[in-house]
Each structure stands twice: as structure tokens, then as C-alpha cells.
Amino acid sequence: MPNTKIEPLRYDPSGVLSAYGSSFGQALDALVPALDAARAEVIEEAASWQRGDTPPPLKTPLDAGFIDLPERLLADYNGPKRAESELYKVVTAARRLAESVDRAVVLGIGGSYMGARALFDACCHPYWNELSRANRHGCPRLYFEGNNLDNDAMQGLLDLLARGAGIGAAGKGGDDAASRQWGIVVISKSGGTLETAIAFRTFLAALEKSGGDVKSLVVPVTDLGRNEKEDDYKSLLYRLTSDLGCRDTFEVPDGVGGRFSVFTAVGLLPAALLGLDVVKLLEGAAAMNRHFREAPVEENVVLRYVGVGHLAETRHGATIRAMSTWGKSLEAVGLWYDQLLSESLGKSGRGATPLTVVNTRDLHSRGQQHQDGRGDKLITNLIVEGVRQDRLKVESRAADRDNLNWLAGKTIPEALDAATKGTNLAYNSVSRPTADLTLAQTEEASIGQLLQMLMLATVVEGRLIGVNPYGQPGVEDYKRNMKRLLQEQ
Ligand code: PA5
């Protein structure tokens, strides 16, 4: 049970029902048994994964280990052997690294960094890396690399790290050793992804050159399994980092795929480095699991969301799913979801196309099309009720030359709320479907619920339409070609 009361996530598809008319509501009612069956299938898969059953060929891979993971992690952490629990080790390693470094570079791509990025943007100060060490509560600045092959971006970061080693956070947060030092969290489940591997070699060489103690400044997160054929570790990353003698190493557990790994060390270690409350995050995810298992289909946020998306696509051709975030902090959550949905369901010519939208910014770039373009979009507004900082108000001015005094005293959140409602009204007036997904706050418990909800929804939809949501065989083609072309060069 969570220690604190968790404000539940809410889903309201009334703007979809009104846009598509009463037959849509009837189709949604008719879909209840299929959604119930898909839920039962997903729950059984989690149980079967726990029992260690071999999945049938059509369900291979079956990475259902993510489903009960939050509960397992919390149970171990709250149990009698806390110091041996994974969560304790993650928090301890994060604390140790945070004390040693002022800048941490997270190397990883796809599911191996997007969850951490989402947590960073959603839960931290928007200008975190600009804050003094004291204002970051002694936590490091965070950078993401190894997610591209961009020479100038990598050089830029190396340059910054080298300069940081010279000037540290002097004048802002002191110039002790920690304020000058940097470290690496390198994340790759397979341990062989080229973008991350190349970046790791590059940043490792720079760290060695800077004289940093690599053993304690590099924390790998990867598969720790052995390859029986070669009698060595499967992960090339692990082969390298175990030779280095890294003090802390974390595993991406078996049965948890990259894009479902945000609640393993892949997401939790960077989150703990940033001082986020990882227990609350997991409690939010566990609360969503409970709701998913227990709530009737008609009240179930996960199943309603799946049903609406599925029917909008199959009955009305809404093949584009726009996740319209209101405010800036959830853009990276949207991008995380883009890869989750694309890689999970974009198979065999199937799968809706996700699109992250940030409003009100994108009303001035995409608004015209969403109001008036092709009717191929289902818009889900991601709305946050609370704010974390004091509410700004529109100032009044004596001369009122810009005629804005009528707004004086109104808050920025009130203006955003009017923009959200006004946009929904505008879309509704031309039968453009909009649903609202509402979070209490951009803090750990809400974000934990949201991420778990979207992962569950993705696998439920996969089972509903007969697409295995796990694995991403299509991505292998580019990797093979790229490697061959590099070898031929
Ligand atoms: O969801 C996935 O499995 C992918 O997005 C992977 O996370 C991504 O390809 C990175 O793989 P790896 O962690 O093996 O480097």
C-alpha cells in the first residue's frame, strides 16, 4: 500500500464521443468483453513470466516482467532485507555518485534514456543545469548523449566537461572536488548498440584523460547474463566495464524490454541522481497497476484509453495519435511515449502513429491542421492541474497602452486553462475528437501512474489487435546495414 494518498489520473473521452456520435459510444460498450479479455491475457502473461514458463512462439519475446516490477521493488525495499534490495542499491549508488560529481552524463538511446529524460524534464526545475549545486540540493547536472551520432553535439559536451573540470561551479556552489568532477552512467541492455558504444569509448577516454577514478565514476546499466556459447558475458558493455572494475553495476533484468525499463535502474538511477523520490514514483506505478487489475472496464483508465484509440483508428481512420501536452514539462514524456507506441505496435503494417504536441506552443504551428486538415487524428490532451511554483499574474500598467489591463490579475495557469478549454471547444465545433488525460501534478506519484498507464495500455492494445508488443525486429535492419557500410569504408 502507498504511504501517501495518491491523486488518481483521470481520463475523459467525452470530446471523442461527441465528435463521433452515439454509435461510437455503442461500439465502445460492445468492445467491453474484448478489452476485459485483453486485460486478463496481459495479467496472465505477467503471472506466467513470474513462473518462468516458456512462452509460445507467437508470444516470443514476452517481456512481461515490467508489469509487476514496481510492486516487487517496493516489497523488497520495505522488507526485512532492505539493504540487499535493488532500490536501496540504486539510491545508495546514486548518492555516492552525486557526492563525487557535479555533472553526470547519461549515455543511452531509445528506451535506454528516454524514460530518464522524461522524469528529468517532468519533475526537475526547468533550468536545473543552470542552478548552483546548493540549489540542486547537492545533486549533479545531467546531460544525455550516446543517443545519436552527432559530432558537434558530442564535442560540445566534451568541451563543456573539460572546461567544467577547470572552473567547476566556483563562485556558485564552491570549488570542491565534487563541483569539478564528472561521471558517466552508461545504459544499454544489449550492450552492443553502436551509438551508445561509440559514445562510451569517447567519453571514457576523456574521463581517463581527466584523471578521474573510472572505477567509481562510471556506472554501467546492462544485461549481466552469460553467453553459454562463448563462455563470456552477453553484453559487450559489461565485458568492458567489468574489466574496468566499476564499483557499482546495475542490471536491466531479464524480461524487461528497453522501452518498458523506466522502473529499473535504467530510469531509477538517473532519477535518484537528481534527488527524485523514487519510492513515490514506484508507488504511483503500483497504484496504476491496482487500478488496471481491479477497476471495471467502463471505469478503467487504461482500458478506456485503449478502447477509444482503437475504435477511433479502426472506425474513423484516426491513425495519428497526438499526445497534446499543455505546458512544457511533459514534452519528453510525449517523446518517450512516441517510441513506446511506435516500437511496440508499429509492426506488420499495423500500429497508429504517435505525435507529441506541446501547447500552446504548437497551436501556432499545428493548430491550423488539427482544426481544419485531414480528419486522421485523435487528440489526447495531457493536462496538469497543479503548478509547482508560485502562480504568476498578468501585471497591470497605469497607461494600458497595450490594452491588456482587462487581463490584469489573471494568473498564467488561468490563461493556460482558457487556452485548453478554448481549443477543445474549437475542435469540438468541427467534430475533431479530443480526450483529456489529467494529472494532479508533475511530481513523482503522478508521473509514475502515467508512465505505467501508457505501458499497460500499449501491451493491452497489442493483445487486442494481435500484435506482439515486445521486441523490435524491424530496427535490426538499419543496424546491420550501418555496420556493414562502416566495415566496407
Ligand atoms: O525499446 C527498446 O528495446 C529500444 O528502444 C532500446 O531501448 C534501444 O534500441 C537501445 O537498446 P540497448 O539498451 O540495447 O542499447
249, 276, 303: which is the final residue of a domain? 276
What pLDDT score does 164 carry? 78
Please determine, for residue 105, whether its predicted confidence score (pLDDT) is greater than 60: yes
In this structure, the strands spanning 320-326 and 434-439 are unpaired
Quote the percentage of the chain above a pLDDT of 90.
92
* Residue with the three cell numbers 555516492: 96
The pLDDT tens digits of the residues spanning 311-366 come to: 999 999 999 999 999 999 999 999 999 999 999 999 999 999 999 999 999 999 99
Of residues 39, 62, 40, 38, the one with CA closest to residue 50: 62
261 lines ligand 1 (CB under 6 A): no
CB 235 within 8 A of CB 190: yes
What pLDDT score does 16 carry? 98
Same domain as 240, residue 129: yes
Same domain as 124, residue 136: yes
Write down the pTM of the prediction: 0.95
| C-alpha pair distances (Å), 163 with each of 138, 172, 391 | 20, 15, 37
479 included as an active-site residue: yes
221, 256, 276: which is the final residue of a domain? 276
Of 404 and 231, the one with more pLDDT: 404
CA distance 399 to 88: 59
Q: Which domain holds residue 235?
A: 66-276
246, 276, 306: which is the final residue of a domain? 276
What pLDDT score does 346 carry? 97
Same domain as 455, residue 322: yes
Within-domain flag for 78:
yes
Please determine, for residue 238, whether its predicted confidence score (pLDDT) is greater than 90: yes
Please determine, for residue 483, whether its predicted confidence score (pLDDT) is greater than 50: yes
Specify the DSSP element, H or E, that contains 301: helix 301-316
The pLDDT tens digits of the residues spanning 84-94 come to: 999 999 999 99
Same domain as 238, residue 264: yes
Catalytic, out of 7, 145, 343, 461: 343
Chain centroid to Cα 21, Å, comes to 34
Locate 319 and state its grid cell. 491513425
Locate 44 and state its grid cell. 496472465
343 included as an active-site residue: yes
Within-domain flag for 482:
no
Report residue 34's pLDDT band, with 50, 70 and 90 as the boundaries: very high
259 lines ligand 1 (CB under 6 A): yes
125 included as an active-site residue: no
Exposed (0-12), middle (13-18) or buried (19+): which is 9, by Cβ within 10 Å?
buried
Within-domain flag for 2:
no
Average pLDDT of span 20-31: 97
Of residues 462, 426, 434, the one with CA closest to residue 357: 434
Supply the residue whose CA is at minimum distance from atom 8 of ligand 1: 110
Within-domain flag for 244:
yes
Please count the structural domains in the chain: 2
Give the strands of the sheet with 218-222, arranged side by side. Answer: 141-145, 103-107, 182-188, 218-222, 250-251
The pLDDT tens digits of the residues spanning 388-437 come to: 999 999 999 999 999 999 999 999 999 999 999 999 999 999 999 999 99
Within-domain flag for 299:
yes
Same domain as 468, residue 397: yes
190 lines ligand 1 (CB under 6 A): yes
How many Cα atoms within 13 Å fall on the side-chain side of residue 398? 0
Same domain as 336, residue 234: no
Please name every residue paired with 439 in a beta bridge, in sequence order, or none if there are none: 384
Of residues 146, 148, 144, 141, the one with CA closest to residue 181: 141
Within-domain flag for 86:
yes
Same domain as 307, residue 452: yes
CA distance 112 to 458: 18
Within-domain flag for 385:
yes
Within-domain flag for 428:
yes
Same domain as 286, residue 268: no
Give me the phi and psi of 219, to 5 degrees please. Answer: -120, 110
Coil, strand or helix at 237: helix
Chain centroid to Cα 29, Å, comes to 31
Please determine, for residue 196, whether its predicted confidence score (pLDDT) is greater than 60: yes
Same domain as 166, residue 44: no
The identity of residue 420, as a single letter, is T
Intra-chain end-to-end CA distance of the chain, in Å? 57
Coil, strand or helix at 359: strand
Share in percent of the chain as helix, strand, coil (round to 5): 55, 15, 35
Q: What is the CATH number of the domain that holds 34?
A: 3.40.50.10490
CB 193 within 8 A of CB 209: no
Same domain as 218, residue 326: no
110 lines ligand 1 (CB under 6 A): yes
Give me the phi and psi of 107, to 5 degrees please. Answer: -100, 125
Same domain as 101, residue 36: no
CA distance 16 to 123: 30
Same domain as 464, residue 409: yes
